[in-house]
Amino acid sequence: MDANAFRHLYEYHFAENRNLWDACATLSDNQFTQAIAYSHGSVRNQIVHLMSVDDTWFSGLRGVEIPEPLNPAGFPDRASIRAYWNRVEGTMRAYLAELRDDMLFERPLEGEDRDLMVWQVLIHVVNHGTDHRAQILRILHDFGLKTTSQDYIFFVYDHL
C-alpha cells in the first residue's frame, strides 16, 4: 500500500465523476431536479451529496473545519454545481499530491471516526462515490439515456 496507488485510484474516481457529469448534460432541467423516491432524490441532489461527502471527509483529513452538509437548493444552476465540484476536486487533488506513504497509517480524525486510518477513509470515499454514481446511472437509464460501466478495471485498461 502506497500513496501512488491511492493517487491512481483517485484518478479513477475523478474520471468517473466527470463521465457521470457529462452523461447528465443531456438531461433537461426538469429531469435533473425531478424528485426520485430513493436515496437522496433527484440527480442534482445525488450529485450535491456526492461532492458534499467528498469535501467533508477530505476536510477531516486536512484537519480543517468540517463543512455543513450542502443543501442542493443552494445551487441555482448546473454551472454553480460544476464550479463547486471543481473546487472540491482541486482540494482533494492538492491533498493527494502531498500524501506520503507514512501518512496512510495516521489517524487524523476526531470523534466517532478517530480510530480510522487515512487509507481507510480514502477507500471509503471512492467506494461511496461508486455507490452514488451507480444510483445516478440507474436514474439516467430510467430516463432512457444510454449509460456505460464505471468498472475500475476498464479505467485500468484505458490507462496501461
Q: Which residue has the cell 473545519?
A: 65
pLDDT score recorded for residue 1? 77
% of the chain exceeding 90 in pLDDT: 89
Cβ-count burial of 50 within 10 angstroms (0-12 exposed, 13-18 middle, 19+ buried)? buried
pLDDT tens for 18-66 read 999 999 999 999 999 998 887 888 999 999 999 999 999 999 999 999 9
pLDDT score recorded for residue 49? 97
CATH of the domain at 110: 1.20.120.450
Q: CB neighbours (10 Å) of residue 63?
A: 9
Distance between CA atoms of residues 115 and 107, nearest Å: 6
Domain that holds residue 144: 3-158
Q: What's the number of domains the chain is made of?
A: 1
pLDDT score recorded for residue 103? 98
Q: Which pLDDT band, with edges at 50, 70 and 90, does 124 fall under?
A: very high
